[in-house]
Each structure stands twice: as C-alpha cells, then as structure tokens.
Amino acid sequence: MVRGLLNKLVSRSLSVAGKWQQQQLRRLNVHEYQGAELMSKYGVNVPRGVAVSSIGEVKKALRDVFPNENELVVKSQILAGGRGLGTFKSGLQGGVHIVKTDQVEDIAGKMLGQILVTKQTGPQGKVVSKVYLCEKLSLVNEMYFAITLDRKTAGPLIIACRKGGTSIEDLAEKYPDMIIKVPIVVFKGITDEDAAKVVDGLAPKGADKSNSIEQVKNLYKLFCETDCTLLEINPLAETADNQLVAADAKLNFDDNAAFRQKEIFALRDPSQEDPREVAAAKADLNYIGLDGEIGCMVNGAGLAMATMDIIKLHGGTPANFLDVGGNASEGQVVEAFKILTSDDKVKAILVNIFGGIMKCDVIASGIVNAAKQVALKVPVVVRLEGTNVDQGKRILKESGMTLITAEDLDDAAEKAVKAYSS
C-alpha cells in the first residue's frame, strides 16, 4: 500500500547498477489480522474476523463465529500489498474474495498452502499459510488515513484524505487538494484540535464527529505506545450505521524497539521474509539482498556502500549489502559466506575488510573455515588492510585456497567484475 508519497517518508533507496532497490528499513511488518487484533485492543473499530490455517479451522469459524452470516470476505494473508489483484500460481485469480457462506470453505481451501503473486512479491510470490475470514460490512464511504514519521517536522505526521480505497499515489495524483497533513508535536501528543483537523479532512458523511475524534486519538495512541513507524488504513470506511471502521490496515514497527515490544515482535512471520535476511539476523549480521551477481562481505556500512558503488563503476552489479560489523567472530564470517553462497545469482564474492576494531586475521580464519564447510564454486576476491593484515594474508596464503588478492578497493572491484565475467 505504501508507495509514492509515503515512500519518501518511510523508506530509503539504494541506487545499485542503475536500478532503484527499494528497501524499507527499521520495521517489523505484521499480517492484516494481527494488526486488526492490535487495533481492537486500543478501541479502534475493526470488522469482526478470525484467521484460520486449515479447513478444520474454517469449519469451526463458520460454526462458532459466523453462524448467521450470508456472505464473508476471505482474505489471503501475506506480507505484501496488491493481494486483491494478485494471481495464485495454481491459476486462481485474486487473493481477496467476497463469497456466500457456503462457498467459504472451497475458496479458502484453494488459497491455503498456495503461492500468491502480486505486484509487490516479485515473480516468486509468497505462500499463503493463513486466510482471514471477515464479516462483510455495508460501506457507504471510503477514506484514507495514515500515521508515519516525518523527518521534516521531527515527529509523527497524520495524513488523511476524504477519498480512499486506492493507492495513495493515485489519490495524490487525482485529488491532491483533498489530502491533508497534520504534524503532531511529539512532546505534547495529539490534541482534540489536531484530531478534529484530521476528522475534518476525512469529512465523514454521517459518523459522529466526537466519536470520530476519539477513533483518531486511539490510533495515535496505538502508534506511539507500540513504537510504530507506519500505521496505514486504506480504506478507513464509514458503515451504514455511521461508524468508522478500519477495513484494511498495514502496521510497521521499529526494530529498535524489539526489547520493549516483545509481544508484538513475537508476531514476526519469518516464512514471509527473505530466508537470507532471516539467517543474517540470527547471526547478528546486517544483510540486504539485491539483484546483482557479485556477493559482498564488508565491515562497516559506509565501506559497504562504497564497495557497492565502485563495483557499479567497474560495470558490475552487487548481489547484496552485507556488513559484518566491527566485532564479528570467526563463526559469523562463516555464516556470512553461507548466506552469500546460498544465492544462486552470485557469480563472484568480494571480501573487502579495513581492519580497525575488526582484525584481518579473524576474517582470514573465517574465510578458510567457511571454505571447509561451504563448497566455494565461485571466484573469491579478497582485499585486507589494517589491524593484523600480515597475519591475515599469511593465513590465506598457507590455506592453499585459490583466492584472488587485491591491493586496494579499486583493484578488488575491477578483479571481481573480471572474475565473474570471464
């Protein structure tokens, strides 16, 4: 859901080999049903629903939760947008269906365990392990609501539009005058006046204004108390009985708050994440997968960015951002090599270490041990400089490994590009 306008606020771009690699940072992403449960705890109106992971659970939900419903909304649960227009690899069109109650079991069965491909998943798609069964509401109005963090105002920013149900960039293009932004002074918190401005921007047709103000304040409370980096509701709907309801929502949470948001971070679904990034997180490595052919292992984020830039300068494309940090152990270096070699697109590996806190001999020992555990089928270019560099070079030389050594970063990048091209 969050693209265009909000991307400028909540994501950064890595310009790699002429391509823009979009990577949202500092965030835990949760499923729609999990977000709805959280919002409900904070007094936010959400549709009645239940997540199920098997046909048996579908039957139980129909019997216990929806005994009198004629129609239900069946929503596939993956951590990607565009589900409604997605396509299952089995051929089923659409990841969201409104069906008669007697058809719920059949459509849920066609979703569970299947791979859904959307505009955000890439061609590989994501597996649907749960579906969310929701009551079908009678909606008379759809609006847009979001809270994000704004660098310009150094605090939370509420964005609202009286039109909703479509992407924010489409809304910004079609109805730019309808979008309002209300910055919140973080030390003061949201006031009734702030919330009233938001409600006026939403312009509900029949919902009580004071109740709507309370809903906005509840959403802001949720945003702050759970360390959200993004709370987006699209649509924020108005029902026939004049209630505001969060019909669909996306919530992201600050990874730096994991230590105090243990219940929320227990909701993480690693099956929906890049397995390489999951493995890197377990090994306490900073890793972002990209689309190139040269795997990079570097110490320090700045040096890692410079390494990717100079690979591009020499006509190559980096396959990843991997920062082993300043205190990496030999075991972490081994894990880093396992992650790099698990990527089939990697045709060469460039190790670029400038030893300050990080010692070159530790990196060298890790490379040698990694070679013993992982079948290195691609050329490895190594550039070491700094603390214990002579010991590191000696370890590599005595290992008997076939390595390509480089004197400096420019030489290393040039050799890495040449190695995978030949």
Residues carrying an active site annotation: 144, 232
Which residues does the annotation place in the binding site? 75, 82-84, 142, 234, 248, 299, 356-358
Q: How far apart are CA 212 and CA 218, in angstroms?
A: 10
CA angle, 305 as apex, 268 and 381 as ends, to 5°?
105
- Could you list the residues known to form a binding site for substrate, using ranges: 299, 356-358
Task: Provide the total of helices (H) and of strands (E) in the chain, helices listed first.
Answer: 14, 22
| Residue list for the binding site for Mg(2+) | 234, 248
Beta bridge partners of 380: 349
CA dihedral 335, 339, 341, 345 (to 10 degrees): -170
Closest by alpha carbon to 295, among 260, 285, 124, 61?
285
Residue located via tokens 């990874």: 255
**154 exposed, middle or buried (CB, 10 Å; 0-12, 13-18, 19+)?**
exposed
Annotated binding-site ranges for ATP = 75, 82-84, 142
**How many CA atoms, within 13 angstroms, populate the side-chain half-sphere of residue 115?**
10
Phi, psi of 264, rounded to the nearest 5 degrees: -70, -45
Cβ-contact 230, 148 below 8 angstroms: yes
The DSSP code sequence of 244-259 is EEE-SEEEEE-GGGTT
Strand 139-150 with 228-239, pairing? antiparallel
